[in-house]
Amino acid sequence: MLNGTEDEEKWLAEGIAGIQHNAFYMHRALDSNNLREALKYSAQMLSELRTSKLSPHKYYELYMRAFDELKRLELFFKDDSKHGVSVVDLYELVQHAGNILPRLYLLCTVGSIYIKSKEAPAKEVLKDLVEMCRGVQHPIRGLFLRSYLAQISRDKLPDIGSEYEGDADTVMDAVDFVLQNFTEMNKLWVRMQHQGPGGVREKREKERSELQDLVGKNLHVLSQIEGVDLEMYKETVLPRVLEQVVNCKDDLAQYYLMDCIIQVFPDEYHLQTLETLLGACPQLQPTVDVKTVLSRLMDRLSNYAASSTDVLPEFLQVEAFSKLSNAIGKVIEAQLDMPAVGAITLYVSLLTFTLRVHPDRLDHVDQVLGACVKKLSNIPKLEDSRAMKQVVALLSAPLEKYNDIVTALTLSNYPRVMDHLDIGTNKLMAMVIIQSIMKNNSCISTADKVEVLFELIKGLIKDIDGADVDELDEEDFKEEQNSVARLIHMLYNDEPEEMLKIICIVRKHTMVGGPKRLPFTVSSLVFSALRLLRQLQGQEGDIVGEEASMTPNKIFQLLTQIIESLSAVPSPELALRLYLQCAEAANGCDIEHVAYEFFTQAFLLYEEEIADSKAQVTAIHLIIGTLQRMNVFGVENRDTLTHKATGYSARLLKKADQCRAVYACSHLFWVDDQDGIKDGERVLLCLKRALRIANAAQQMANVARGSGGPVSLFVEILNKYIYFFEKGNKQITSSAIQGLIELINTEMQSDSTNPDSVADAFLASTLRYIQFQKQKGGVMGEKFESIKL
């Protein structure tokens, strides 16, 4: 069959030519009202349809040509003034044709007129036609003939309210007729698989699927019959259709027809006949894609349930869930070799269904998940990516529905399902869960739930055995870990005790995360703990000491441990910041030794771990800032710490950095609080030292580059002077400020200095400030009076 299609084209062309040729003579006969000739040529024309050489597709083309011609013939038959033969006689006359196919086409054509004439009851004629059509047993020819019959009879069924309605129970006749035609067509369609010219199975299946709508059309007609009410559907239509479906034992037909039934009949019918419909599923051939069928059914029912709340009681009444659930179980049981994706798809559909129909029945959800776990546990390793996707869909569905992870956490089977995901998907799912929490701002408030939650998202929390670390995308990883960090903030309980438990659980989980994850999670955890601390303070001090587990000291110990874990990373900068945060918290709790300890840790880190000069600058400023706010320390401790800090400042690498750090240190000796330390002398010392450094920087710049260094340093120092001057530091005099201003002016005018607009503006606004203070008058005005600009 090298040029099979070519041949087919040729045969089709021949067939069309034959039809046209005979149609021409038929038209001539019609025009001259010659019935005998008309019958002769129409029969010859229809004989072209007797070909066996065409594929369904091409045959259809031929059929349509003949169909159009038959319409003209029908008009002629209808008008008995033209041919003078009564319709009854005509009905006999066309049966004289020797060949069966033309004979039956003509019979159907006249039959339709016979019904219209109402000279015989519609049901009799229909019955006769559908019976006579048995003579064509060739699948394709039979299908098209019967489809012609269905076509011409569609508007002539003795339906309720139809003009062809007979005396009693004629809907039944209409239904019987359509059912019979359907049954016969389906038989022919199924037979196609086993008959006809040999060929590859796939080709035949393709050909058959081209014809499926011819068969399905009958079901559509059935659904359109007015008189098919629920009762009739339940008692007659569905059982008979299903009987045919089941008995035909053909996978293609079973799949298509089941789907067809689901699609063409109304939802409430399905609901009321669920048992029957589902009962047919396990009886289908094992190769039938039952899962898609069931999925579609459940989707339809879900949509139906969603369409209106009025219908929900119906669902309850018929126990739709348990029926569906049973059916699915049976199908999965029966079809052992159904791929995992199939089974899971079914569960997803069932889950969607129950979520829509019984949103209040969490047990249903859990039941579905449980069933899924059972199925999954029989599969050693889920590797099918489509199956994975379905599992994700399965797990996402409850999250979307309830907008609340808390609900999902109560589902005992939820984590068990997650266990069956591969690492990547597991992570993905974990992200979905976290995103859901974020989106809905849900607060996870008990330790148990947190435990479950972290069990769920363990894919993100730690390396799982066998994971290929190299494949990790850096950005994805950051995104994931940031999400985990954010999640930690969502865990909250007003009860400190519970909160502590939560923190401990989180710590337990996060500590195993390894050096890459810790920097992300530890800070969240630390701040979470610090929040607990504040919470504890907020609740009066009476709890303190009463319960051993809940002292701030305990929490601080915990904090220390948490931060220490960072040493493994190592991430000294982060650890330093956290220590400082903790120190500040300890300050808030008024626990000096703890605060001191944290500072010690911070300093140690600074000394031992932070080598980068930039990082040092940042760190030293942080240290100074924090230390400045500490009020818990006694003189001795404070001196030690400030001394250290000042010392570090002076040992920074760059002069400018040194200078800035040193003048920042000045604040350590002047805390603008009521009982803050106010050591004017040491402030001045710091500032002078800063000035010296600035000078040195200037000179170094001159030497090195032949141009002036940063004037801005001087301006910055000037600002410090002004600050302390305003604050009433007696050591800072107006003359000192005066001198500094002059110094700056000189520096700026020296030709070696590069003009620096930023420094200029800075100076200008500083001077403007002084001017402003002078003009303001009052105490401050007097103070500034002596400064000459």
Partner 1 sequence: MNFLIGAFKPACNISITFSDGKSRKQVPMKKENGKTIMVSLFQSKESIAGKVSIEPLQGKKIEHLGVKVELLGQIEMYFDRGNFYDFTSLVRELDVPGDIYERKTYPFEFSTVEMPYETYNGANLRLRYVLKVTVSRNYGGSIVEYQDFIVRNYSPPPSINNSIKMEVGIEDCLHIEFEYNKSKYHLKDVIIGKIYFLLVRIKIKNMDLEIRRRESTGSGANTHVETETLAKFELMDGAPVRGESIPIRLFLSPYELTPTYRNINNKFSVKYYLNLVLVDEEDRRYFKQQEIAIYRQQDS
Task: Give the C-alpha separation, 744 to 537, whole Å.
Answer: 50
CB closer to partner 1 out of 132 and 393: 132
What DSSP string runs through 218-239?
A: HHHHHHH-TT--HHHIIIIIHH
Burial of 123 (0-12, 13-18, 19+ CB in 10 A): buried
Give least dist CB 251 to partner 1, A.
18
Shortest distance (Å) from residue 134 CB to partner 1? 6
Residue 410 backbone phi and psi in degrees, to 5: -80, -5
Distance CA 784, CA 766 (A): 13
Show the tokens assigned to 165. Answer: 């309605």
- Which segment (126-134, 164-172, 393-401, 690-698) binds partner 1 by CB under 8 A? 126-134
CB of 409 to partner 1, least distance (A): 59
Tell me how far, at minimum, the Cβ of 104 lies from partner 1, in Å.
9
- Closer to partner 1 by Cβ: residue 94 or 261: 94
237 DSSP 8-state letter? I
**Residue 204 or 449 having the CB closest to partner 1:** 204
Q: Is the Cβ of residue 5 or residue 95 nearer to partner 1 in the bound state?
A: 95
- Residue of 58, 83, 123, 138 that binds partner 1 (CB under 8 A): 138
Cβ–Cβ under 8 Å, residues 399 and 430: no
320 by DSSP, 3-state: which?
helix
Q: Which is nearer to partner 1, 187 or 217 (CB)?
A: 187
Q: Which stretch binds partner 1 (CB under 8 A): 130-138, 239-247, 446-454, 600-608?
A: 130-138
Stretch that binds partner 1, among 136-144, 261-269, 477-485, 752-760 (CB under 8 A): 136-144
Which of 56, 142, 370, 710 binds partner 1 (CB under 8 A)? It is: 142
Specify the residue, 66 or 530, whose C-beta has the smaller distance to partner 1: 66
DSSP SS3 for 313? helix
Q: Name the residue with tokens 């979905």.
A: 432
* Shortest Å distance, C-beta 43 to partner 1: 12
| Binding residue (CB under 8 A) for partner 1 from 71, 118, 124, 135 | 135
The contact pattern for partner 1, residues 67-106, with x = CB under 8 A and - = no contact, is -------------------------x--xx-xxxx-x---
In angstroms, how far apart are the furthest CA atoms of the chain?
135
**Contact set for partner 1, span 146-205 (CB under 8 A):** 187, 191, 195
- Tokens read off for 565: 């874990």
Least gap, CB of 366 to partner 1 (angstroms): 50
Residue 541 touching partner 1 (CB under 8 A): no
Considering beta carbons, is residue 138 or 217 the nearer one to partner 1?
A: 138
The token duo for 480 is: 């994931």
Q: Which residues, numbered 601-660, are part of the site for partner 1 (CB under 8 A)?
A: none
Nearer to partner 1, 99 or 303 (CB): 99
> Considering the rule CB under 8 A, would residue 131 count as an interface residue with partner 1?
yes
The distance of closest approach from Cβ of residue 93 to partner 1 in the complex, given in angstroms and rounded to an integer, is 9
Task: Specify the residue, 90 or 461, whose C-beta has the smaller distance to partner 1.
Answer: 90
Q: Which of 65, 141, 204, 356 binds partner 1 (CB under 8 A)?
A: 141
Q: What is the closest distance, in whole angstroms, from the C-beta atom of residue 327 to partner 1 in the complex? A: 31
β-partners of residue 670 are: 678
| Residue 732: CA count within 13 A, CB half-sphere | 30
Is the peptide bond prior to 139 cis by the omega test (within 30 degrees of 0)? no
Half-sphere exposure of 723 (CA within 13 A, CB side): 16
Distance CA 596, CA 604 (A): 12
Cα separation, 788 vs 761, whole angstroms: 19
- For the chain, the distance separating the N- and C-terminal CA atoms, rounded to the nearest angstrom, is 108
Phi, psi values for residue 274, rounded to 5°: -55, -40
> Nearer Cβ to partner 1, position 87 or 627?
87
Q: How far is CA 581 from CA 351, 552, 625, 640, 699, in A?
A: 47, 15, 11, 19, 39
The minimum distance between CB 107 and partner 1, in angstroms, equals 10
Nearer to partner 1, 163 or 243 (CB): 243
Rounded CA-CA distance 173/121 in Å is: 11
Minimum CB separation of residue 195 from partner 1 in Å reads: 6
Q: How many Å apart are CA 548 and CA 569, to the nearest integer?
A: 32
Nearer to partner 1, 191 or 206 (CB): 191
Closest CB 119 distance from partner 1, rounded Å:
18
**Least distance CB 180 / partner 1 (angstroms):** 13
3 state SS of 309: helix
Q: Is 243 in the site for partner 1 (CB under 8 A)?
A: no
Q: Which two tokens stand for residue 780?
A: 């401050």
Residues numbered 435-454 forming contacts with partner 1, rule: CB under 8 A:
none
Q: Among 137, 307, 765, 786, which residue sits at the site for partner 1 (rule: CB under 8 A)?
A: 137
Q: Would you say 421 and 381 are in contact if contact means Cβ atoms under 8 Å apart? A: no
- Residue 195, amino acid: Q
Number of residues that bind partner 1 (CB under 8 A): 22
How far apart are alpha carbons 112 and 109 in whole angstroms? 5
Closer CB to partner 1, 41 or 603, in the complex = 41
DSSP letters for 617-664: HHHHHHHHHHHHH-----HHHHHHHHHHHHHHHHT-SSHHHHHHHHHH
Q: Is there a contact between 117 and 133 (Cβ–Cβ < 8 Å)?
A: no
Residue 113: what residue type? I
Contact flags string 46-65 toward partner 1, x per CB under 8 A: ----x---------------
Report the interface residues with partner 1, using CB under 8 A: 50, 92, 95-96, 98-101, 103, 131-132, 134-139, 141-142, 187, 191, 195
